[in-house]
């Protein structure tokens, strides 16, 4: 692909994923030289109209305006790539899907009437066709560079969908489950972060969503042996990818606990 035109778009999100692009420090100039950054408000005031060869979309759909915009972005883009847990799974804000959004609005805003919002936060793929997704909260810089490089050279990106455990062992981390009894979603979570959290002796909280072909039911059974309180387990499944059907199904098994 000769100098593809790149657009970076944001819906409901925190900006962390697009900042990953600016965070590419060493490689940023090479990337900027290889692609034509036509629309990236976070980085430049120069905004050129579509069509775009590649659209990187961050954020989930939470307002009627978002729902319209994503159709427009899709129509203007040859390849649409979702980046981050919000865009690929609805994000942490999808916790609203389990509650009544009007109650939240009334609690948070002085004049609720000004707020126009949807009852749910949904992934981009629920609205338009997505060509590729980068998972994580936030996405991994190395994965983003790998994807962009693969696009430039017209090859398959190397972005495996195995579990975090494999990367954990590649990195030489000590397993927090075995050594410390810490709950960890690594066995069922999609790789990509390089097993970041276990590398800091923390359990994985599943921000990349489910890996391929793993066994979430067995993971829930293991958590139930590790953690007595059902609400703790439920919240573990209801994190950054709470709206993902695989994680949501496991969360629904744990109804006890503090009732929050």
**8-state DSSP, 183:** -
Q: Is 159 in the site for ligand SF4 (CB under 6 A)?
A: no
Residues 24, 125, 175, 227: which binds ligand SF4 (CB under 6 A)? 175
Total residues contacting ligand SF4 (rule CB under 6 A)? 22
Cα separation, 155 vs 13, whole angstroms: 30
Q: Which stretch binds ligand SF4 (CB under 6 A): 99-107, 108-116, 191-199, 229-237?
A: 191-199
Q: Is 206 in the site for other proteins (CB under 8 A)?
A: no
Q: Name the CA dihedral angle for 102, 129, 188, 21, rounded to a multiple of 10 degrees.
A: -90
205: left (phi over 0), alpha (psi -120 to 50) or beta: alpha
Count Cβ neighbours within 10 Å for each residue of 116-129 and write b for 16 or more, e otherwise.
ebbebbbbbeebbe
Cα separation, 9 vs 93, whole angstroms: 18
Q: Cβ(137)–Cβ(13) under 8 Å?
A: no
Cβ contacts of 117 within 8 Å, gap of 6 or more = 62, 63, 101, 105
Q: Which does 208 bind (CB under 5 to 8 A by kind): ligand SF4, other proteins, none?
A: ligand SF4
In the complex, the smallest distance separating the C-beta of residue 82 from ligand SF4, rounded to whole angstroms, is 16
Q: Which does 195 bind (CB under 5 to 8 A by kind): other proteins, ligand SF4, none?
A: ligand SF4
DSSP string of 194-248, one letter each residue: -SHHHHTT-----TT-BPTT--HHHHHHHHHHH-S-HHHHHHHHSSTTTTSHHHH
User: In Å, what is the CA distance from 148 to each residue of 22, 66, 75, 77, 228?
Assistant: 13, 25, 21, 15, 44
**8-state DSSP, 161:** -
SS3 191: coil
Q: Which stretch binds other proteins (CB under 8 A): 39-47, 51-59, 173-181, 233-241?
A: 173-181
Name the percent of the chain in helix, strand, coil, to the closest 5.
45, 15, 40
In the complex, the smallest distance separating the C-beta of residue 166 from other proteins, rounded to whole angstroms, is 5
Nearer to ligand SF4, 59 or 198 (CB): 198
Residues 73, 144, 177, 251: which binds other proteins (CB under 8 A)? 177
Site string for other proteins, 55-94 (x = CB under 8 A): ----------------------------------------
Q: Which stretch binds ligand SF4 (CB under 6 A): 14-22, 99-107, 204-212, 244-252?
A: 204-212
Q: Is 22 in the site for other proteins (CB under 8 A)?
A: no
Nearer to other proteins, 11 or 34 (CB): 34
Q: Which does 217 bind (CB under 5 to 8 A by kind): ligand SF4, other proteins, none?
A: other proteins
Q: Which does 31 bind (CB under 5 to 8 A by kind): other proteins, ligand SF4, none?
A: other proteins
Q: Is 128 in the site for other proteins (CB under 8 A)?
A: no
Can you give the binding site for ligand SF4, defined by CB under 6 A? 136, 164-165, 168, 173, 175-177, 184, 186-187, 189, 193, 195-198, 204-208
């Amino acid at each position: 692909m000769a100098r593809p035109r790149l657009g970076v778009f944001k819906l409901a999100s925190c900006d962390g994923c697009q900042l990953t692009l600016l965070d590419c420090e060493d490689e940023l100039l090479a990337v900027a030289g290889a692609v034509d950054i036509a629309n990236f408000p976070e980085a430049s005031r120069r905004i050129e109209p579509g069509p775009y060869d590649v659209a990187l979309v961050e954020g989930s759909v939470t307002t009627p305006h978002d729902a319209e915009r994503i159709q427009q972005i899709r129509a203007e883009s040859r390849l649409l790539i979702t980046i981050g847990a919000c865009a690929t799974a609805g994000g942490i804000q999808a916790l609203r899907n389990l509650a009544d959004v009007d109650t939240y609005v009334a609690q948070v805003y002085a004049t609720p009437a000004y707020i126009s919002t949807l009852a749910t936060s949904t992934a981009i793929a629920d609205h338009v066709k997505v060509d590729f997704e980068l998972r994580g909260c936030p996405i991994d810089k190395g994965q983003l560079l790998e994807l962009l490089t693969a696009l430039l050279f017209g090859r398959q990106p190397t972005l495996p969908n195995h579990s975090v455990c494999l990367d954990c062992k590649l990195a030489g981390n000590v397993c927090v489950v075995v050594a410390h009894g810490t709950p960890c979603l690594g066995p069922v979570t999609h790789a990509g972060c390089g097993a970041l959290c276990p590398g800091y002796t923390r359990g994985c909280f599943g921000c990349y969503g489910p890996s391929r072909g793993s066994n979430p039911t067995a993971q829930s059974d293991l958590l139930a042996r590790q953690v007595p309180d059902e609400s703790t387990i439920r919240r573990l499944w209801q994190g950054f990818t709470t709206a993902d059907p695989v994680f949501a199904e496991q969360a629904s098994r744990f109804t006890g606990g503090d009732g929050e």
